[in-house]
Amino acid sequence: MKTTIKTDICVIGAGSGGLSVAAGTSQLGLSTVLIEKDKMGGDCLNTGCVPSKALLAAAKNAHIKQSSDIPGIAATEPRIDFLSIKHHVSDVIKSIEPNDSQQRFEGLGVTVLRNEARFISPNLIRSGDEVIQAKYVVIATGSRPVIPPIKDINTASPLTNETIFNLSEKPEHLLIIGAGPIGIEMAQAHCRLGSQVSIFDMATLLPRDDESNVSTLREVLVNDGINLYERVAIKQIKKENDLITVCLERNEKIFEVSGSHLLVSAGRSPVTDTLDLDKAGIKYDKKGISVDKRLRTNKKHIYAIGDVSGGPQFTHIAGYHAGIVIRNICFKIPAKVDYRALPWVTFTDPELAQVGLTEKQAKIEYGNNIKVTQWPFRENDRAIAERTITGNVRVITTRRGHILGASIIGPHAGELCQVWGLAISSRLKIGAIAGMIAPYPTLAEINKRVAGAWFTQNLFSQKTKILVRLLQKLPF
């Protein structure tokens, strides 16, 4: 027999965005129902950010042992126990799991239902034997991996980010379709843990990032031993016994690459198919649920956040969206999304980070009214001391010094880019970064140096020298 639960807010999906909304609204005094049919924590905790970073950490550790750059410390070949590494990954997930658990959220006063959610009408949702009547609804169902329509691909039982962490044995030769962040991170991790790796993409490596810094990363990946096939067409997948073969075409030439496992990282699609959105009259398409800048659907009391809303597919964006929704619902502040300072990081070694506009995007939007300034890690004293000098910081500004974007490749790039995000969102000019005091010796000092380099041409010009000489004629 179905029962009806009346609530202020119903959140569908217990991933990063949904959990943040549920925690916030409940602690602010609103009755909150959270519905999740699968694992609490969603993709990020269970099959995405957390396990991938744990695997990358193991791979980096193995790489350091076998490639010491400091004289006096001999490089050694690490003994890699792949099953134990997977236990390490599982342990990391279990360490973070309590923060996202049903018990924690029930302790916050949230009613947690572990069933599928389907709309009955704009204000009613069915979940198992319960019917939820909510004043507001927040859809946070995320996205799932896409399997591209390549001939016979399913015969190879392709892995995705949802299944690759279940492997207990090291892949002998991992074939990866997709040279985006997930594909590249998994390529480097498995390569450094002893697998042969080949990666294929119809476009180029990380096409959304700064081309110059991507070139540096490409060289690192090739030097690691990864076989990188860009601008190729995948015609067919064959499987014979335990051998998987990818049939490729490039420049009208057909060739094949064979391996033991196939990983697909060719994009993600929003999870909308089980929601019965039509019964609520909610507009959506294959890209996701249509929302305005306040993240409201065409039914103004229903919001959609994170991957399902058709915007940037990052965990931190889901968390950002949660904040927008809480301000709108709880405080009646018409907060809107602002992606000017949107950051993203590919957690390879070295890391590749981007915030704001790339040089290509800035040229489209501002034409010739931009200035690009860069500074290499080889000129940073901390990087020299640690022998981690591969990398570069590139900052894009207007001619008048308004910061538009920054791209960093190098050690801890994901940490270093954050000051640029703050500068963009606060509408600071480059002089604010040049004038800050940076502790020495730190990697973060590179941000001050690149900002200072922006002024170099004008500061040491002939006109400035003349001005300085004139000023010397003034009394003390």
Q: Is residue 468 part of a domain?
A: no
The total number of structural domains in the chain stands at 3
Q: Are residues 277 and 262 in the same domain?
A: no
Q: Are residues 289 and 380 in the same domain?
A: no
Domain end position, chosen among 212, 247, 266: 266
Q: Is residue 238 part of a domain?
A: yes
Q: Is residue 46 part of a domain?
A: no
Q: Are residues 138 and 8 in the same domain?
A: yes
Q: Is residue 78 part of a domain?
A: no
Tell me what pLDDT residue 219 has.
Answer: 97
Domain end position, chosen among 217, 251, 266: 266
Q: pLDDT (tens digit, 9 = 90+) per residue, 270-296? A: 999 999 999 999 999 999 999 999 999
User: Cβ distance 358 to 407 under 8 Å?
Assistant: yes
Q: Are residues 325 and 353 in the same domain?
A: no
Q: Which domain holds residue 296?
A: 3-40+101-145+269-330
- Domain at 371, CATH number: 3.30.390.30
- Domain at 203, CATH number: 3.50.50.60
Residue spans of the chain under pLDDT 70:
1, 459-460
Kindly report the pTM of this predicted structure: 0.94
Tell me what pLDDT residue 459 has.
Answer: 66
Tell me what pLDDT residue 190 has.
Answer: 98
Domain end position, chosen among 266, 283, 300: 266
Q: Are residues 257 and 275 in the same domain?
A: no
Q: Is residue 90 part of a domain?
A: no
Q: Is residue 58 part of a domain?
A: no
Q: Are residues 140 and 8 in the same domain?
A: yes
Q: Are residues 7 and 130 in the same domain?
A: yes
Q: Is residue 69 part of a domain?
A: no
Tell me what pLDDT residue 203 has.
Answer: 96
Q: Is residue 108 part of a domain?
A: yes
Q: Are residues 262 and 279 in the same domain?
A: no
Q: Are residues 163 and 262 in the same domain?
A: yes
Q: Are residues 116 and 261 in the same domain?
A: no
Q: Are residues 168 and 312 in the same domain?
A: no
Q: Are residues 36 and 15 in the same domain?
A: yes
Tell me what pLDDT residue 268 has.
Answer: 96
Tell me what pLDDT residue 331 has.
Answer: 97
Tell me what pLDDT residue 67 has.
Answer: 81
